[in-house]
Amino acid sequence: THAHTHPLFSRSAIGTFFQEQPLLTNPFTQDALLQAYLRRHIPVQELEVDLQQFSECVFSEVEALGRECELHPPVLQRYDAWGRRVDRIITCGAWGRLRALAAQHGLVAAGYERTYGDWSRVYQMSKMYLFAPSAGLYTCPLAMTDGAAKVIESLGMPAREAFDRLTSRDESRFWTSGQWMTERRGGSDVSGGTETVARRQQDGGFKLYGFKWFTSATDADMTLTLARITDEHGHTTPGTRGLSLFMAQVWSPDGSTNGVEVQRLKEKLGTRQVPTAELLLDGMNARLLSEEGRGVASIANMLTITRIYNTVCAAAAMRRITHLSREYACKRSVFGKLLKDHRLHMQTLCRMEVESRAAFLLSMEVCRLLGREECGSANERESLLLRLLTPVAKLYTAKQAVCVVSEGLESFGGQGYMEDTGLPSMLRDAQVLSIWEGTTNVLSLDVLRSIGKSSGSVLQAFFIDVRERLLAAEVCPALRPALSSLGTALSALLRFTETAESRPAETLELSARDLSYSLARIYMGALLVDHATWKHATQTDVYTALRWCDQDLCPVVSRDAAGCFELQMAEMDTQLVYDGLKP
Ligand code: UCC
Ligand code: FAD
């Protein structure tokens, strides 16, 4: 009888319920803020059509390519079958396809063609923003490529052919560039850490000898790098004044390297799609690009571009995870109702959304300023703001991205932790945003540098600009609470900066991070308020500004009041850190 009711052989029953998965749809169509922003500032039909079509390509093709790059990371082939050293970096087919698509769609070129005049950078970076979360970090080589083009352009086109290739739409001509700055002694302290030397050759060229400790997208065609030129006695000048900027092709036409040995590929937490290597430069043929001793100042133009890319990609990562989270909330049911009907869950997603919107507006503002400067239409205030806001935006959005993506993973519960959903790689890849291109503290010090070098003019530009935006927003009564919080924060910040002038440099340094956060929060608030006063703004836009201004907008003042920047407190900080560690 037993055999009668239970078949002898059966498939094991694993239940009937399967959770529907969140689906990615057209990222442009879904993005209310991006569309509104573009309609407000560049209401050009053909641009909207272009982004719409590009976006279709993103979710129908790029998304799968990015995933393939994650699953098939690059490998280093050191020797060929016959034992010859070849140092070949083998990337998957999808990586090559992303390169072709990037060229065809003009992802770098659009920044230099300047089809939309002052707004060309906003147009280009809107594309990048749509591309980035799907593109398996192909944005990394594109950032450096764009940065190299910018350096060449700003030095008066000493390398025309390279520039043309870096900004080409023709995939067979298109070149990508690396950015080799970091050595074992220092990635932040580049001038203290660079040991690479450059020996002048008879033909006016140079040979480089040194060890580069992190070189991302090493499959690039060319690179910019720093080295110290030796004099006739083989001596070099220490510090920044000894550093010059060089350009070199990485590979020879036959596929062999140009005096480079690839020591190994890095084993990284994330960015696994990108080949990042350690390189021995053993007589790499290179060309001097900058004036001698102007290496750091000359590569700073590349840093501006790559830091802006970092910002855009951070905002894009937040946008992607919030879209996926909200999609999932319509499909996952718990405690008898969908996640979207649990108010506490919606509050969590709403906070992610507010962060994402603030990050988006700051990213686009920096791109707008860059575009204006490049077209010669930036006024003095805008140039100063570009200098100040580039590090502010990079450091703040990177931290936001880590938090928002982490929160986003949690919104999927345990599934957020599962590799085959593709979600964990988003967190791994977000974590690098605050490390490369200058860590949070190093960029905070860059904020101080920009203030010091301009004798405070960048801050004046900041105060005037924010005040104007707040004043213009007074027409909208619903924004009053936000305007009041922002006004209070701005006045407190002004008082702080006025007293800062008389403080010793060490205490100023201690305030650098909180100062940068304050600048970011206040500026983001001003941009949200500004967006909410646009004639087609919605209630949602007003609501975003109000929610943003709920937080401590000026942490530098609250921390100062608590004595955090006093040297005595810094001493206590150190003691606390080392509590229990015997000398
Ligand atoms: O990490 C990397 C990753 C590559 C992957 C690409 C990803 C792109 C994003 C993709 C998104 C998904 S590449 C390595 C990045 N490395 C860094 O970011 C370095 C971090 N360290 C710093 O930024 C430091 O502050 C240094 C290296 C700039 C400090 O150098 P010095 O030599 O000590 O600095 P000085 O002496 O203060 O400055 C030397 C000159 C000065 O100009 P002059 O001589 O005219 O007075 C400075 O004003 O450089 C100028 N300068 C700048 N100018 C320094 N920083 C800047 C700046 N940010 N803007 C303009
Ligand atoms: P350190 O400078 O030793 O920093 C250690 C800590 O000290 C950090 O927390 C930092 O914030 C803090 N710190 C440093 N200075 C100060 C200060 N003055 N005051 C207070 N705190 C300070 N580099 C390239 O050149 N090219 C590349 O292509 C490249 N690709 C990379 C790819 C990946 C995946 C990663 C992770 C790194 C890459 N880097 C690359 C290197 C990267 O730019 C550096 O690692 C980074 O700039 C930090 O330098 P560091 O590692 O020497 O850290």
Interface confidence, given as ipTM, is 0.99
- Probe ligand 2: pick from 213, 442, 506, 513, max atoms within 8 Å of CB? 442
By DSSP bridging, strand 243-249 and strand 260-265 are unpaired
Regarding the beta carbon of 435 and ligand 2, being less than 6 Å apart is answered yes
If you average pLDDT over every residue of the chain, what do you get? Answer: 96
User: Contact, 226 vs 197, CB < 8 A?
Assistant: no
CA–centroid distance, 438 to ligand 2, in Å, is 6
CA–centroid distance, 306 to ligand 2, in Å, is 14
- Report the pLDDT value the prediction gives residue 5, as an integer from 0 to 100: 64
- Residues sharing a CB contact under 8 Å with residue 479, sequence separation 6 or more, in sequence order: 473, 529, 532, 533, 542, 545, 546
Helix 45-57 and helix 120-131, axial crossing angle in degrees, nearest 10: 20
Q: Identify the band that residue 1 occupies on the pLDDT scale cut at 50, 70 and 90.
A: very low
Regarding the beta carbon of 436 and ligand 2, being less than 6 Å apart is answered yes
Ligand 1 atom 41 nearest Cα:
297
Distance of CA 276 to the CA centre of its chain: 17
The full 3-state SS of 325-386, as one line of letters, equals HHHHHCCCEECCEEHHHCHHHHHHHHHHHHHHHHHHHHHHHHHHHHHHHHCCCCCHHHHHHH
CA–centroid distance, 296 to ligand 1, in Å, is 6
pLDDT at 106 over 60: yes
List, for residues 358-416, the tens digit of each pLDDT value.
999 999 999 999 999 999 999 999 999 999 999 999 999 999 999 999 999 999 999 99
- Sign of the dihedral defined by the CA atoms of residues 555, 361, 377, 132, in that order: positive
- Probe ligand 1: pick from 107, 215, 240, 313, max atoms within 8 Å of CB? 240
List, for residues 423-456, the tens digit of each pLDDT value.
999 999 999 999 999 999 999 999 999 999 999 9
CA 107 vs CA 100, 110, 129, 464: distances in Å: 10, 6, 10, 34
Distance of CA 367 to the CA centre of its chain: 12
- Report the pLDDT value the prediction gives residue 254, as an integer from 0 to 100: 85
User: Contact, 522 vs 554, CB < 8 A?
Assistant: yes
Domain ranges, ordered by start, for the chain: 32-166
How many residues can be counted in the chain? 583
pLDDT at 3 over 70: no
Task: Give the number of the atom of ligand 2 that is nearest the alpha carbon of residue 188.
Answer: 2
Cross-strand pairs, 180: 225
Region for residue 130 given its phi and psi (left: phi exceeds 0; alpha: psi -120 to 50; beta: otherwise): alpha
- Report the pLDDT value the prediction gives residue 453, as an integer from 0 to 100: 95
Token pair for 501: 């002038």
Query: Which class for 280: exposed (0-12), middle (13-18), buried (19 or more C-beta within 10 A)?
Result: middle
- Strand, coil or helix: what is 581? coil
By DSSP bridging, strand 206-216 and strand 222-229 are unpaired
* DSSP assigned state of 258: S
- Report the pLDDT value the prediction gives residue 47, as an integer from 0 to 100: 95
- Report the pLDDT value the prediction gives residue 532, as an integer from 0 to 100: 98
d(CA 419, CA 429): 13
CA–centroid distance, 353 to ligand 2, in Å, is 30
CA–centroid distance, 303 to ligand 2, in Å, is 13
- Report the pLDDT value the prediction gives residue 6, as an integer from 0 to 100: 66
Q: Span 337-343, mean pLDDT?
A: 98
User: Contact, 321 vs 351, CB < 8 A?
Assistant: no
Regarding the beta carbon of 214 and ligand 2, being less than 6 Å apart is answered yes
Task: Give the number of the atom of ligand 2 that is nearest the alpha carbon of residue 435.
Answer: 46
Query: Among 395, 427, 392, 396, which Cα is nearest to 411's?
Result: 427
